[in-house]
Chain A
């Protein structure tokens, strides 16, 4: 395996890990939203989007000779989720992390992967905006990556 292929698999694996975590997290989110509400429907739609993205990443990793990592059985939440408000905050936080993971894919030199990563950063940012109700200047980028 070439170093480029290994780098691609590593980046895709990071994105897959983030997608798997988000898929788990949306189960928590949905459980704290009123049944039948628009927010619950949005959580379901976003959960499906993450499942599909995970499947796609699994295929992409396998196609490159990699071994996709299995999802964990459970994930530690970044903060207690006890209400609809904290559930929505969790959704936005997960989307931020998904965007960050896909920015690693954007760093790859292959045009197709770079474009794919950028589209996914955009999708995650849009979902984060819908949960948060506000926008971010630099979705997915850490403060340390930005010039002061």
Chain B
């Protein structure tokens, strides 16, 4: 009798589901308000820094915002390039926007918390060619993937899974862009 098993039946039972949303309320931001109500301003000390996972998540959000801005700038710069190349850049930009949305949804800021302005992408000089534009994107992708992988330790499990998945996605953008460039040239 053959021992037959469904291919790839390893179902990831520990995957984070929607009911396990990472709730990272930045409680430290609300603390001074509470203290003010109780003891007055003089009783306030320096607010404690936010926990590490919140700082790491905020940094990841900022990095992803920068990546979206980079791709927007690159798409503008490559607007006259062959259609396939521009489509590839826009496809990757859409994935970064999806990453950004998921990362933002993992962070719950207290009402009234200041919203930092989105970072601006480094300017692309007019003389930069297609190879230079794509090379900069590929380097940024590698750096971003490596950075996320280096921040997993100590994160809540669902956030670590999200970081690992996003890091993997960003790593795949490098060969994807290289293939698109090769096809366009």
Q: Give A residues with C-beta under 8 Å from B.
A: 11, 14-15, 17-18, 21-22, 24-25, 72-78, 93-94, 97-101, 103-104, 106-109, 111, 114-115, 117-119, 121-122, 124-126, 128-130, 133-142, 144-148
Closest Cβ–Cβ distance, residue A42 to chain B (whole Å): 12
- For A147, list chain B residues within 8 Å (CB): 18, 21, 101-102, 105-106
Closest Cβ–Cβ distance, residue A81 to chain B (whole Å): 10
Given contacts A74-B4, A139-B172, A118 and B164 within 8 Å (CB-CB): yes
- For A107, list chain B residues within 8 Å (CB): 14-16, 157-158, 160-161
| Distance between Cα atoms of A103 and B168 in the complex (Å) | 11
Q: Could you tell me which residues of chain B, from 91 to 110, have a CB within 8 Å of some CB in chain A?
A: 91-92, 94-95, 98-99, 101-102, 105-106
| Distance between Cα atoms of A91 and B164 in the complex (Å) | 21
Q: Give B residues with C-beta under 8 Å from A.
A: 2-18, 21, 91-92, 94-95, 98-99, 101-102, 105-106, 145, 149, 152-154, 157-158, 160-169, 171-173, 175-176, 179
**B18 & A74 in contact (Cβ 8 Å cutoff):** no
- Nearest A residue to B155 via CB reads A114
Count of A-B contacts judged by CB separation below 8 Å: 180
Closest Cβ–Cβ distance, residue B184 to chain A (whole Å): 14
**B10 & A114 in contact (Cβ 8 Å cutoff):** no
| Distance between Cα atoms of A11 and B149 in the complex (Å) | 19
Closest Cβ–Cβ distance, residue B178 to chain A (whole Å): 11
- For B102, list chain A residues within 8 Å (CB): 138, 146-147
- For A25, list chain B residues within 8 Å (CB): 7-8
| Distance between Cα atoms of A129 and B175 in the complex (Å) | 8
Q: Can you name 8 A-B pairs with beta carbons within 8 Å?
A: A99-B165, A100-B11, A118-B167, A135-B172, A136-B169, A137-B94, A141-B162, A147-B21
- For A21, list chain B residues within 8 Å (CB): 5, 7-10
- For B166, list chain A residues within 8 Å (CB): 138
Given contacts A72-B5, A103-B15, A135 and B161 within 8 Å (CB-CB): no
- Nearest A residue to B96 via CB reads A137
| Distance between Cα atoms of A73 and B176 in the complex (Å) | 35
Residue among B8, B18, B101, B106 having the largest count of chain A Cβ atoms under 10 Å: B8
- For A24, list chain B residues within 8 Å (CB): 7
- For B16, list chain A residues within 8 Å (CB): 107, 145
- For B17, list chain A residues within 8 Å (CB): 144-145
Given contacts A103-B161, A107-B161, A118-B164, A18 and B8 within 8 Å (CB-CB): yes
Given contacts A114-B152, A125-B171, A140 and B12 within 8 Å (CB-CB): yes
Partner of A122, one of B2, B91, B162, B171: B171
